[in-house]
Structures are given as C-alpha cells and as structure tokens.
Amino acid sequence: MRLRTLDDLGDLAGRRAFVRLDLNVPLEDGVVTDDARIRASLPTLTELLERGASIVAASHLGRPSGRVDEALRLRPVAELLQRFLDRVVEYVPTDGVLSPEVEQSCQALAFESGRFVLLENLRFDPGEEANDRAFAQRLAGLADVYVDDAFGAVHRDHASVVALPAILREQGREAVAGRLLQREIEALSRLVADPARPYVAVLGGAKVSDKLGTIGALVERVDALLIGGAMAFTFLAADGASVGDSLVEPERFDGVRAARARADERGVVLQLPEDVVAATSKSMDASRHTVPSAQVPTGELGLDIGPRTVEEFARTIADAKTIVWNGPMGVFELEPFGAGTRGVAMAIAGASAYSVVGGGDSLAAVKKYGLEDGFDHLSTGGGASLEFIEGRELPGIAVLEVGRVSDRETSP
C-alpha cells in the first residue's frame, strides 16, 4: 500500500485544506470529558498552518442521524482547538452543515494563510452517512486539497471520507493522509504483514456479536486468542457451562463453536476464563465472590475475569512477540470489577513484545492505570483498527492510494 501523505503536497501558501478529523469526543453537559482525539489532531493541523495553508476542518460527533441535535454541536470542540492551537477558530452554528454564509467564509480563505474554519457536525446532514455525491460536491467547493486524519472513520462509506476525496482526485486535486492516519497505518501494518511470533490477540467487551467477525479473521492469523469480558460467556454457554445470569447470545452459539473448531484445526490456542468475579448486580456495593467460570450461580452474573484467569492470560502474554488488545476484561469502570482488566493491561505493558491497543474502553483503561508508555501504539480507532487487522479494505484508505480513485459507487 502506497498512500499519498502531507509529504506529497506542494506549496500550501494561500491554499485551503479540507481536513477530515475525528473529533468524536465524549461530552457531559456540554463539556469535553476526554480531549485525547482533539490533541491527536494537532500535529497535522499545526504542520498545515506552519506551511501556510488555511484550514476548513470537519468532523462528526455522536449519532444525530441526519438531524440537528443541539447537544451534539461542535462548539466545545472549537473552544478547545482554539486554546490548543492558540489561534482563532471560526465556528458558526448552522441549521445543518453548510449555509451560504459558511460557504462564503470558506471561499474567502483563499490567499489568506493561517485562517481556521470548523464546520458544524457533519452528521447533521443526511448526505454524510449516505455517502451522497451532491453533498460531497458542495464540500469539495470549500477547499483546494483534502487531508484525511480521521482514522476512526476510514471504515465508513461516508461522504467526507470517500466521495469527497474521490471527487477531488477526479478533478486533479490532491487527497492525502494526515500524520495521524499515516502513523496508524504504519503501526497496524506490523500486525498484518509478517508479525513477529508468537502473535497473541486479547479480546474483551460485552457482546460477542460485535466481534465474531474479528474472531474468525484473527483465528486465521494469530497463535493464541484470549477472550474475556462478557463476550466469553457465550463461548462458555455454547459448551454447556452454567453461567447464571451472565450476558449470553444464544443466537451466536453456532458462530462461536465454528470459531473454536477452526482454532483447533489450525492449532491456535483459544483461552477462555477459568474463573470469574460474580455478583448479584452491576453495582459498587453488590456482594461478590470468585467462582469457576462454568459454575456461576443462578441469580448472579460474571462481571470480571478472576485472578487465576489473569495469571493464565499473563503467562501466554509473557511469551508473545506481537500483541493486539481490544476490549476490557470486565466492568472496569467499577473498581470492584477492574482487577482483571488492570492485570491484563499490566501484563501486556510489561511484555517484551510489539503491542497495540485499540478501542475506546481499552484506551480508557490504559490511561486509567497510567500504562500508556508500556504500549508501542495506542490506536485512535476501535472498529477501524479491528477491520484493518482483519485484512479488510477500508474505503477511506483505498481512496487515498497511489494509482487509485475510489471505484465505490456514491449515491447520485
């Protein structure tokens, strides 16, 4: 894969760069509670500004479903960007994404180096998620070059990710990857192209249905697959274990059995929890105890992997040369059920392996336990990183490849 990057752009003085960012940050009462994604966008923005470009920045936030949602406006993001960049960020709330005033303002950026405009939430317009070409053409009129730095969105067939760069390339204009996207691809490629072995994947989270495709793909690639979190109970229940009131998806039994059979066929070690921390409810003060994973009492549910499982997982992790982790081992947000996630995170951070962590909850856990320096790469994309390591073609990356213009259809 050969991508165009910022290094392929010529003189940017007086040129307008449309920069697709991933500023999908958590908000609480209109306040950003985690600014990591905003900070991750700064290297690309700073470089473009230092090279003389003016910027039209755009991002989605939440799931407004093509309608204006006052709680999902980008004003709090604009305020943080202004502070971090130490320059004026022009942001005008609109009843959609584009308005005559916004378009005129972006047109006026030509030959005005250093100005910065932030568009309103892209998903306020139904054309974004529909990958609508007409909407993308209006966005294309706002800038001279396109820069994608939103790794967390490159697996989406959305207008600002696919149709827009395709249109610009059809017109002979540049569409390139920003520094964050470039770094993500370089780091994750090490998990796909001849990874050092043993290669161990650690998966967690609530629903196995969310990651069954990933499990099937990883069974073909890894040497060991460690499964924790509530998703493990579907595997256990499919084998006839008594898992009490733990989360189980019976409709996925055939899928998990097939994954186990394929792992056995390929000689892949598939480790499930041997013990779990069970409680009567998901609460701080619930009575809890450690029980065998196949003997969770009726009326109780497993909310974390147990100490023996942490120990067994850590043994496998210690021997690894490549590790990818996505998904917590339990309800780590509640301290009584955080020991499993903390133990696994510490084991990975202490391993002499190339280690990558992705997914919002896993990143939050790494940050919570102060283990950032123990990982080689902290991926900003959850679904995107999983699809990349599965070996899928991601549309937002494909459209930037040298020698290609997206052949994916966009709606008329």
pTM for the model stands at 0.89
Structure tokens at 191: 């998990």
State the pLDDT confidence band at 1, using cuts at 50, 70 and 90.
low
193 versus 339: the higher-pLDDT residue is: 339
Instruction: State pLDDT tens for residues 58-96.
Output: 999 999 999 999 999 999 999 999 999 999 999 988 888
pLDDT for the residue numbered 405: 56
State the pLDDT confidence band at 383, using cuts at 50, 70 and 90.
confident
pLDDT for the residue numbered 105: 85
pLDDT for the residue numbered 2: 84
Q: Quote the mean pLDDT of the chain.
A: 93
pLDDT for the residue numbered 411: 44
Give residue 348's Cα distance to chain centre.
19
Q: Determine the residue type at 201.
A: A
pLDDT for the residue numbered 365: 94
Instruction: State pLDDT tens for residues 232-242.
Output: 999 999 999 99
Structure tokens at 208: 């196995």
CA distance 372 to 348: 11
Instruction: State pLDDT tens for residues 342-355.
Output: 999 999 999 999 99
pLDDT surpassing 80 at residue 226: yes
Q: Helices 75-85 and 36-50 sit at what angle, rounded to 10 degrees?
A: 50
pLDDT for the residue numbered 263: 97
Unique residue bearing structure tokens 């998901």: 282
Average pLDDT over residues 25-39: 92
CA-closest candidate to residue 337, choices 410, 386, 276: 276
- Encode the chain in three state secondary structure: CCECEHHHCCCCCCCEEEEECCCCCCEECCEECCCHHHHHHHHHHHHHHHCCCEEEEECCCCCCCCCCCHHHCCHHHHHHHHHHHCCCCEECCCCCCCCHHHHHHHHCCCCCCCCEEECCCHHHCHHHHCCEHHHHHHHHCCCCEEEECCHHHCCCCCHHHHHHHHHHHHCCCCEEECHHHHHHHHHHHHHHCCCCCCEEEEECCCCHHHCHHHHHHHHCCCCEEEECCCCHHHHHHHCCCEECCCCCCHHHHHHHHHHHHHHHHHCCEEECCCEEEEECCCCCCCCEEEEECCEECCCCEEEEECHHHHHHHHHHHHCCCEEEEECCCCCCCCHHHCHHHHHHHHHHHHCCCEEEEECHHHHHHHHHCCCHHHCCEECCCCHHHHHHHCCCCCHHHHCCECCCCCCCCCEC
State the pLDDT confidence band at 332, using cuts at 50, 70 and 90.
very high
Answer yes or no: are the C-beta atoms of 334 and 284 closer than 8 Å: yes
Catalytic member of 338, 343, 383, 396:
383
Unique residue bearing structure tokens 């490629």: 189
CA distance 48 to 278: 52
pLDDT surpassing 70 at residue 219: yes
Q: State phi, psi for 107 to the nearest 5 degrees.
A: -65, -35
Catalytic site residue 302? no
pLDDT for the residue numbered 404: 64
Instruction: State pLDDT tens for residues 115-159.
Output: 999 999 999 999 999 999 999 999 999 999 999 999 999 999 999
pLDDT surpassing 70 at residue 406: no
Lowest average pLDDT, out of 98-107, 220-229, 284-293, goes to: 98-107
Count, residues in the chain: 412
Catalytic site residue 173? no
Instruction: State pLDDT tens for residues 259-279.
Output: 999 999 999 999 999 999 999
Average pLDDT over residues 31-44: 93
CA distances from 333 to 137, 161, 207, 284, 339 (A): 43, 33, 17, 10, 11
- Residue 165: asked if its preceding bond is cis (omega within 30°), the reply is no
Catalytic member of 4, 37, 115, 156:
37
Catalytic member of 87, 207, 321, 368:
207
Average pLDDT over residues 313-335: 97
Catalytic site residue 383? yes
Q: State phi, psi for 403 to the nearest 5 degrees.
A: 85, 5
Catalytic member of 360, 381, 382, 396:
360
CA distance 231 to 168: 43
Catalytic site residue 360? yes
CA distance 364 to 216: 26
Q: Determine the residue type at 293.
A: S
